[in-house]
Amino acid sequence: MNAEILAVGTELLMGQIANTNAQYISKRLPEVGVNVYYHSVVGDNPNRLKECLNLALQRSDAVIMTGGLGPTQDDLTKETVAEIFNRKLVLHQESLEKIKGFFARLHREMTPNNVKQAYLPEHCKVIENSNGTAPGCIIEEGKKVVIMLPGPPSEMIPMFENTVMPYFLQKSSYRIESRYLRVFGIGESALEDMLLDLIEKQSNPTIAPYAKDGEVTLRITAKCEKNADAHSLLMPVVEEISRRIGNALYSIEDKNLEEVVGNMLIENNVSLSIAESCTGGLISGKITGIPGISRVFKSGVVSYSNEAKVNILGVRQETLDRYGAVSKETAVEMARGIRELAKSDLGLSVTGIAGPGGGTVKKPVGLVYVALAWEDGVKYKELKLWGNRERIRNVTSLHAFDMIRLHMISKNN
């Protein structure tokens, strides 16, 4: 079955909110054997909505619509769908009672326009909304299916999971399962070259690389019968890729780098402290997002000024005078200083020029030093990064986490 996701809302077209619903639905549907071939977005205009829906029905078996189910006059999704399928909107009493109950629980008065949300196309399958006032519905017309869901993700996601996924699973004879391999330290083109023979010979599973924010993800996708074991198709490919790229592969479970590193620290009971200059707390913020990290994360210091580097971390003034704040020497002393200050097993530091200003010929924007200190040693890495301030800071954080990861692997081996 081929599907199209049609998002309704002028706020999406104006860039006021991101269309995260389409992303979520697209990631989930392949697991129940539904291919997503098109994404569309249309504003709150009945004529343009009708055009988009008619086009979607011409080229897709199923159309999943999000948004436009609210109580206001510009919420016209149900009305437009009902008109296309020549169905009346009829009051669904059970939905009306739930809407009334929703307002009663909040001790708020229900306005008359909310009754509009309880009117649904006749002969549809109602999708209950336990987190809001707008029920969804499924309409089957011949071999076509239209599914209407509310726009807010907090309402859409539970309705999609509880009703839409089981609906498609029941209809599908096969499913699609993917593994996401996360790679750091090898660029997209170099990685593709390493795996070119596998990619050229692929049939089932398929291999698709894509780059994002300084790292590469490989999507390995297998198609199999609904009750078959996709694991047996996926794992030989995963294992061969792992053999080829080695430690550059940091996750086969689609975990991000800070999560992998955080769990390594927790599992090995290795404590960490961090001193940041150009990243301004970004690395500490990411690591503290890991559940249970308080067991091993000791301290984070944003030592943006030279005074802070000297007074808090113990960086020598002569080091700053001779080599500057952005130097391997300063990074090393920062790492040693934060480790000693926090009494942690590892001390990590970053110092650099994130831009857009502040660069010189000798020390351009994007020059960053990352250092890691432990009981009997210290190492550093010089980075020459490109891009805007946000990208430089984010890629620096990836290098910092990867330095910890590779150190832990080396120590464990």
Q: Give the single-character DSSP code of 164.
A: I
Q: pLDDT tens digits, residue range 266-278?
A: 999 999 999 999 9
Asked whether residue 12 falls in the same domain as residue 131, the answer is yes
Q: pLDDT tens digits, residue range 87-144?
A: 999 999 999 999 999 899 888 889 888 999 999 999 999 999 999 999 999 999 999 9
Asked whether residue 146 falls in the same domain as residue 283, the answer is no
Matching residue, tokens 């519905």:
137
For residue 319, give the CATH number of its domain.
Answer: 3.90.950.20
Asked whether residue 180 falls in the same domain as residue 167, the answer is no
Predicted confidence at residue 93, as pLDDT, reads 95
Predicted confidence at residue 355, as pLDDT, reads 95
Are 364 and 326 in contact, with CB atoms under 8 Å apart?
no
Range of the domain at 113: 2-171
Residue 413 clears pLDDT 90, i.e. is over it: no
Domain endpoint, select from 223, 251, 279: 251
pLDDT band at 252 (very low <50, low <70, confident <90, very high): very high
Residue 256 clears pLDDT 90, i.e. is over it: yes
Asked whether residue 334 falls in the same domain as residue 209, the answer is no
31's CB contacts (< 8 A; 6+ apart) are 165, 175, 176, 177
Asked whether residue 366 falls in the same domain as residue 268, the answer is yes
Domain endpoint, select from 117, 140, 171: 171
Asked whether residue 63 falls in the same domain as residue 24, the answer is yes
Structural domains in the chain (count): 3
Mean local confidence (pLDDT), 342-366: 97
pLDDT band at 284 (very low <50, low <70, confident <90, very high): very high
What pTM did the predictor assign?
A: 0.78
Asked whether residue 155 falls in the same domain as residue 295, the answer is no
CB-CB neighbours of 167 under 10 Å: 17
Asked whether residue 265 falls in the same domain as residue 282, the answer is yes
Asked whether residue 402 falls in the same domain as residue 272, the answer is yes
Mean local confidence (pLDDT), 164-177: 88
Predicted confidence at residue 226, as pLDDT, reads 80
Pairing relation of β-strands 136-141 and 144-149? antiparallel
For residue 153, give the CATH number of its domain.
Answer: 3.40.980.10
For residue 193, give the CATH number of its domain.
Answer: 3.30.70.2860
Asked whether residue 38 falls in the same domain as residue 102, the answer is yes
Cα(168)–Cα(139) distance, integer angstroms = 13
Domain endpoint, select from 151, 171, 191: 171
C-alpha to C-alpha distances, 365 to 259, 302, 320, 385, 391, nearest whole angstrom: 28, 20, 19, 8, 12
Asked whether residue 159 falls in the same domain as residue 239, the answer is no
Asked whether residue 48 falls in the same domain as residue 100, the answer is yes
Residue 381 clears pLDDT 90, i.e. is over it: yes
Q: pLDDT tens digits, residue range 219-232?
A: 999 988 888 888 99
Residue 18 clears pLDDT 90, i.e. is over it: yes
